[in-house]
Chains A and B, each alone.
Chain A
Amino acid sequence: MTGRCPYEYLKQDVWFQLLARAVLFHAVRVHIETLHDRATRSDSVQHVVHGYYLSAADGAADAQGTTGIDAVLADFCTRARAVAARRGTKPPDAELLTDLARLAEDAVVQDPFARMLERVNDLAAREYGRGWRKPELSLARVTENPSRPVYPVDPYPITGSTFHKPKLTVELVLDPDGFGPATYAAMPMVLVHECVCHVAAAQRGETCNESTFAEGFMDYAAQYFFDAWIGRIDRDLAPAAREHAPELVHKYLQPGNPDADVRQDGLRAARKLRAWLESPDGLNLRPTSGPTAVADLAVDLNRVNEKLIKKDQLVATLNQPSYPPEVQSVLKGWYAGSTPASDLFIVQEHRK
């Protein structure tokens, strides 16, 4: 492929910078956690990484395509080896830089964003089965961190959105200047959230960030599937992705973050449902089966073409200290395979 920007809402120079960083992070992903760590506290590693960012910025000014990215990558390898060879460089840093250069040399200039969405899409399609529609990818830039930073320097300047019209699209919104190794490691969680929670959502085309179902209850399922899929999304990135996903989720749940209350409320309902499923009064499931059942039910409910407010109402019911008998009955029937999940909305309608 060439370095020409395939994304409608991204300027060529921004795309060049994002692509340059993502290609490097992908190539060295087995070390991405160490890179994230050392890039902030080791002068040698920081020098090489920031040098790469500056080269990418310079390259962006007159980027013509693949050649440009290759040149920037080659520059990275040269600089990394040179710094590794310096007398003052600490042995662990030198070892890391040498290895980064070796890996970066073999980097293939492909679109890592599209490749990652492709993998997540394949896994989500298998989970959702018939009716799944493959989303397109869009990248967009924000000049400021898209969510409220929790840390002085937020390593996760990334968020996602899903649009159903005019075309089904998953959009990653990034701050190109803050896009670092941790951001790349957190990206699978963002994409899994968008695919599991929003791409297959059948709620009459409605979207609402205030929905406890869409943003909270479904996020429990997203976290579950992230954990189950990450090895297949990218085995080499998996350890770092597992490290950073909880940090990202934690950030979005911080008080003061937009919609943190909604997310927390929905997650709480999912946890309560799990507790009920594992309780003797419920289905007495093993602790290993409870989360699976909650995630499966979430997916089933997400497929039901029902108003989002009805789904939020169900989440509020699942947040109660005890469940009405008719709700318990449908949950048991659903687990046994004899009752569709959609019956939960019917009993909800008749509940007084």
Chain B
Amino acid sequence: MERLKVLAAAAALHTFTVADLVRHTGVPSNTVSSVLRRNARLFEDAKPSERGSRGRGRPRRRYAVADLTAINAEIRAIEETVGTVSRLLGVPDTEDGGGNPEEERAALVSVAERTIMRAWDTDDADDRRVLADTARLNLAAVAPSPAPDMPIYRETSPYLRVKAPDERGAPSLAGEELTVRARSLAVLVDLTSDAAEGRAIGVTDLQRAATAVATLSGVTSPERMHRFLGGLVMIAQAGDELAPVGLVTRKGDTPGAVIEGVDDSEWYMRKLPGTGDVVWAQRWARTLADRRLYACNVLYDTGDRDEDFRDTLHRVADLSSLSKPSVPRIVVSGSYEPGRINTVARAGAMLLAPDFSTDDLNSAIGAGFELPELYTEP
């Protein structure tokens, strides 16, 4: 409280002595001195011309405001963090919440992210719906006023009309990132909500979700990226789709030849540099594959020769190092010999039987996404 009073009086007076501040605030002189000392970067000694006439005796030290913007920021920070301060001083909170708008937008988006991640963590559909709604409300609060110049994904979702914060001019870099995060997040929130309410998730929805996650990869931490991919797995599975995988095959093989019941035309191919192998991703996950983002790498191995098997494992390890954050690996192998199993275990992969189906794969990725269970012995 005292600190706020002293800073506010200092900002108002611009040049002052400790006695001036004591007179204006009623705060004891030792506290005033203490506040000035602790916030020394905000003040400087007044210039001779600002010191006023000299009387007899030792002149009192006169201060001047060195950084008014910083003082105002300090004052605002105190007011917004301690509601009682503004109450005691009779300063009403403003209608927009009274805080620093950019910081508050950042907090809202961050909380929306955390909330949607909580939604993905729960198995209860009702809880998931409530959490998705909460995340949606947080995003809505980021952009209260519609911004018609911004493209939107869904006409009925006002929270997608997220606008950059600085309406007076060009948006700041941080503001733009925030906008990107909010808009991408809104897509995931929408689809999580749809999934919780049992609405159909189609390929177009998944494309939007994949694009959103791919976009988030440029503006979020690897840890959160890992969680976003997990959320995308949940959404994909709700749409009876395979999670977004990177399926590694030998040159000439196709997904249809490897996984039961998949249509090759729905897959998108990228060549792995230097190995002759190729990695396939579902066509809807193309934007992710272009950034080498997969929920899981699946390696199909014929098991013909151990040397080949190890070579391919090695290549898969390279592949995962390209895909940040690190992704689980699943090796589909024709045999379960102990030697092979140990090799797989060392590679940190999960072994799957060759007659696996898309359901098996979905289940393996969904259940063990965080860290796939390792087979050590049959």
The residues of A with any CB-CB pair to B shorter than 8 Å are 33-34, 37, 41, 210, 212, 220, 223-224, 226-227, 242-243, 245-247, 249-250, 253, 255, 260-262, 264-265, 267-268, 270-272, 274-276, 278-279, 287-288, 290-291, 294, 307, 309-310, 312-313, 316-317, 319-321
Contact = CB atoms under 8 A, between A and B. Distances in A.
A294 B86 CA distance: 14
Contacts of A272: 93, 95-97
B114 interface: yes
Nearest to B2: A243
B133 interface: yes
Given A261-B107, A291-B87, A37 B131 contact: no
Contacts of B131: 309, 312-313
25 contacts: A33-B31, A210-B115, A210-B118, A223-B82, A224-B87, A242-B1, A246-B82, A255-B103, A262-B107, A267-B83, A268-B104, A270-B83, A271-B97, A271-B98, A274-B83, A275-B92, A287-B90, A291-B83, A294-B83, A309-B131, A309-B134, A316-B135, A319-B97, A319-B138, A321-B141
A227 B84 contact: yes
B69 interface: no
Contact of B111 (A212, A278, A291, A307): A212
Given A246-B81, A267-B81, A272-B96, 13 more contacts: A41-B37, A210-B114, A255-B103, A261-B106, A268-B99, A270-B83, A271-B93, A271-B97, A290-B93, A312-B115, A316-B135, A317-B137, A320-B137
A278 B127 contact: no
A308 to B, nearest CB: 10
Contacts of A287: 87, 90-92
A317 B141 CA distance: 9
B30 interface: yes
B85 interface: yes
Contacts of A267: 80-81, 83
B93 A262 contact: no
A268 B95 contact: no
Contact of B130 (A224, A268, A313, A319): A313
B144 A265 contact: no
A22 to B, nearest CB: 23
Given A255-B106, A275-B97, A309 B130 contact: yes
Given A37-B34, A250-B78, A268-B97, A224 B84 contact: yes
Nearest to B95: A275
B interface SS class? helix
Contacts of B134: 309, 312-313, 316
B58 to A, nearest CB: 16
Nearest to B141: A319
A260 B106 CA distance: 11
Contact of B3 (A37, A210, A243): A243
Contact of A271 (B80, B90, B130, B133): B80
B140 interface: yes
A278 to B, nearest CB: 6
A33 B2 CA distance: 12
A25 B80 CA distance: 30
Given A33-B31, A34-B30, A313-B134, A261 B114 contact: yes
A144 B242 CA distance: 45
A210 B144 CA distance: 24
Interface core residue of A290, A307, A319 (most chain B CB under 10 Å): A319
A273 to B, nearest CB: 9
A216 B206 CA distance: 35
Contacts of A276: 95
B326 interface: no
A310 B131 CA distance: 8
A132 to B, nearest CB: 23
B245 interface: no
B108 interface: yes
B85 A246 contact: yes
Interface core residue of B114, B127, B137 (most chain A CB under 10 Å): B137
